[in-house]
Every structure is written in C-alpha cells, then in structure tokens.
Structure 1
Amino acid sequence: MWEKIISCDQTYDELFFTAVKTTKIYCRPSCKSRKPKKINVTFYHDIKEVEAAGFRACKRCKPEVEHSPHTELIKNVTAFLVNHYKQKLTLQNIADHVGISPFHLERLFQQETAETPRTYLEKIRVDKAAHLLVHTDLKTLEICYDVGFQSPSSFYKSFRKVTNCSPSEYRRQEQ
C-alpha cells in the first residue's frame, strides 16, 4: 500500500485510505499532496472506520466525495464557457475565472472530459451556429461573428470538423 501512495496510483482509490497520525488527515492513494513519513501513516479499508478513528478528509483529494475531486471545477469551467461563448476567450481568461493556472486547467479539463477547453468551446459555438443556421435568416458571416468566432476561416474549419459539412450545406440539409 505504501508503494501505491508513493506512485499516486489512481486504480487503488476507494480500495483503501491513507491516514497520517501527525496531521489527523486521510487521503486517497492517488493524492498529490506531499508524502508523509512512513512511520506516521496508517491504512484503512473503510471510510467510516478512518473517520471514526478521528481523521478528517483531505481538502485536496476529497476522499469523502465519491466522484472525481475535480467535478465541481469542471462544471464551473463548462458553465463559464456556455455563458461566455460569444466573447473572445483565452485559456488564461478561463483559468483566471476558476483560480488555477492555465496549464493545470487544461490538464484537468482534458483528464475529466477527454478534450481541451478550446475544443469544448468550439463545439458550443458550432452548436449555437447550427441552431442559428436552421432557425434564422442570418447570413453565415453574421452567424460566424455572433457565436464568437474571430474569423470566417476558423468558423468554417471548426464547423466542418464538428458537423462534417459546411455551414451552407448544413442549412440546406436541415430545411
């Protein structure tokens, strides 16, 4: 078990918990916090047992939460993207909104959703554009800028990547 916490092995999460006697904190085996001295560590197989022994949950890995400890952060990011898709957004803007570094944000987002914040934002914009193409008489160029793309070329490229057709082909198909 000691080897699993040293290697931060996620596959052992929920199978056992690491409790540190000196801090009275317990963690998942995959927790990225600084590793304690081996003599200060006890292992528990049940969360009720470790809490009954007087340990509190780590605020970093949140072992008491059954889902990923980053779920709330990812929900916050996706809500931000959905609500601000029309604006010119950079990874730095998004990272500033949630209070972490751009590098850490991109890594966590990709780990949890299997895509980058940029590709997620592109999909939102393309979905909004597809809706406008079918339900309005706006010109394709107007829709391009209305949904937040900075140039028609990036709009056409992203639209084709997501829908496998051009905006005008999509409009014809859906009418």
Structure 2
Amino acid sequence: MLTFEEMWQRIIECDRKYDGLFFTAVKTTKIYCRPSCRSRKPKKVNVEFYDQIGKVEEAGYRACKRCQPEVEHSPQVAIVKNVVTFLVNNYKQHLQLKDLAEEVGVSPFYLERVFKQETGETPRMYLEKIRIDKAAYLLKSTKLTNLEICFEVGFQSSSNFYKIFKNIKSCSPSEYRKGLHYELDGS
C-alpha cells in the first residue's frame, strides 16, 4: 500500500511501472489518469488516488483521453504493434520515418519517441534487424549473391548492408553463409 506522498511522487515522475496499480483523480476536472500520464500535473490539493478503476468511475470521474487509463495496456502499444506489422510487411521498400508516422497517424517525432520507449530501439534500428534477419535466412537457404541479397531485403547500398550485417551478426555475410558466426542467441 502506497502512501499519498509516494503516489504523488510517482505521478510527478510519470512512472510507468505503477500503471494499473492506482489511478489519479483530479477533483476540479473530474478526470482520472494513469501514474505515467504526461498531461499537465494538477495541484496536489485537487488530487485523489484510487486503487481500482471501478471505484474511481463510481466516484464520477471520466477517463483521460491522453493516457487512456481504462485500456488494459499503454495506448502506445497499439501504435508500436501497427508499426512493427507495417515494417515486417514492407521491409523491402525504401521507408522513412515520415512514412511510418503517416501510416499510424502520428507525428514522426512522437512515433520515434514512443517506439523507442516501448521497444528500446528506433524504428530504423528495428527495420534494419528485420532486413538482416531476412538476409541471414537467404544466405543460408539460397544461392543468391551477397549483393543480390542486399537489394532483395531492401538495402539501398552494399556498404551499408555489410556494415549493419556485421554490426548485428558479428560477422560478414560471407562468413555467416559459411557458418563462421557465433551469436549469443545460438543461431
């Protein structure tokens, strides 16, 4: 059980680890939020805390449209899931952040921030990993040349392909094809 002061500190810090454990209700606006909500912080005297969503709604509060506390997961999870699906289905295309943002209906800045917050990677890094995974599969299962694979998986330049491949797989594409790779994940 957290004290009022502990819960207040969590909302000041926008601490996501406490989402779902309690809800912040603002008496003056009659809105309730998650602890991680990024909306402007209310005055301390105008705040009440509830440990259950049913209780806060019974008290007459409505859900914040920004943090959507009534939704089981963070609202950003849906955005990230849609971007990942789009990347997996379109990895061969020349994609830019603005294209991804347009696809999910948010600004490029917001998308990059949310994506990194949820996955620990930028959309570009995630796309590169998808492309390298596809390239690794093609290296092992086809007779395509390294250069053909480079363009097949969506890279625009061979130097970038080789650099990123080596960075992710810790070996060159040729070494990977010959089985001279030792990855931590066991592949």
Is the shorter-chain TM-score for this pair beyond 0.5, marking a shared fold? yes
Distance, in Å, in 2 between the alignment partners of 1:168 and 1:6 is 52
More divergent stretch after superposition (28-37 vs 135-144)? 28-37
Q: Which amino acid aligns with 2:122?
A: T
TM-fit CA distance, 1:2 = 4.3
What does residue range 1-20 of structure 1 map to in structure 2 within 5 Å? Answer: 1-20=7-26
- Tell whether 2:121 aligns with 1:115: yes
TM-fit CA distance, 1:10 = 3.4
TM-fit CA distance, 1:79 = 0.6
Unaligned regions of 5+ residues in structure 1, if any?
none
Distance, in Å, in 2 between the alignment partners of 1:12 and 1:144 is 44
What does residue range 96-115 of structure 1 map to in structure 2 within 5 Å? Answer: 96-115=102-121
Distance 1:20 1:132, change over 3 A: same
Q: Percent identity?
A: 67
Distance 1:145 1:26, change over 3 A: same
Superposition TM-score, scaled by structure 2 size = 0.83
**Aligned twin of 1:76:** 82
Unaligned regions of 5+ residues in structure 2, if any?
1-6, 181-187
* CA deviations over 1:105-127 (Å, ceiling 9, x no partner): 11111111111111110000001
Q: Which amino acid aligns with 2:109?
A: F
The alignment of Structure 1 onto Structure 2 pairs a total of residues equal to: 174
**Aligned twin of 1:85:** 91
Distance, in Å, in 1 between the alignment partners of 2:107 and 2:44 is 31
What does residue range 16-95 of structure 1 map to in structure 2 within 5 Å? Answer: 16-38=22-44, 40-95=46-101
Distance, in Å, in 2 between the alignment partners of 1:37 and 1:13 is 20
Q: Which amino acid aligns with 1:86?
A: K
